[in-house]
């Protein structure tokens, strides 16, 4: 079933260029977004239920923070094979920018929430 270009789903799929992506590019995109979503979810949970001074949680969230590295690697591979990059279109960097921001924000949150 074809999505209408005027529907929200159609606009979102058009923005993602989902129809023009290869299967491999879709997989790389899904992996990098999954890593980013997991890291985001873990740190949202940490903000809602902080435990200052809990070293085990600090260590766990440091490990979760480290998952941004494979997300960046998959994001760079996705960007390299992206039809958006090849077409010179705008918006091809959003996954990389989001994961890069996660690296900075989540590290700062981990230090702030679980110091001392």
Residue 1 has pLDDT above 50, yes or no: no
Is the pTM of the predicted complex or chain greater than 0.85?
A: no
3 falls in which pLDDT band (50, 70, 90)?
low
Residue 114 has pLDDT above 70, yes or no: yes
Residue 25 to residue 69: CA distance in whole angstroms = 18
Torsion sign (Cα): 73, 76, 81, 84: positive
What are the residue boundaries of the structural domains of the chain, listed by start? 22-113
Residue 101 to residue 83: CA distance in whole angstroms = 24
């Amino acid at each position: 079933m074809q999505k209408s270009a005027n529907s929200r789903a159609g606009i979102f799929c058009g923005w993602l260029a989902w129809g023009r992506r290869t299967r491999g590019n879709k997989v790389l995109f899904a992996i990098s977004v999954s890593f980013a979503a997991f890291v985001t979810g873990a740190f949202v949970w940490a903000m809602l239920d902080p435990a200052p001074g809990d070293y085990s949680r600090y260590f766990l969230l440091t490990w979760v923070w480290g998952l941004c590295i494979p997300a960046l690697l998959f994001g760079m591979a996705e960007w390299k094979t992206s039809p958006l990059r090849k077409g010179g279109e705008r918006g091809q960097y959003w996954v990389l920018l989001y994961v890069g921001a996660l690296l900075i924000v989540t590290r700062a949150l981990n230090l702030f929430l679980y110091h001392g």
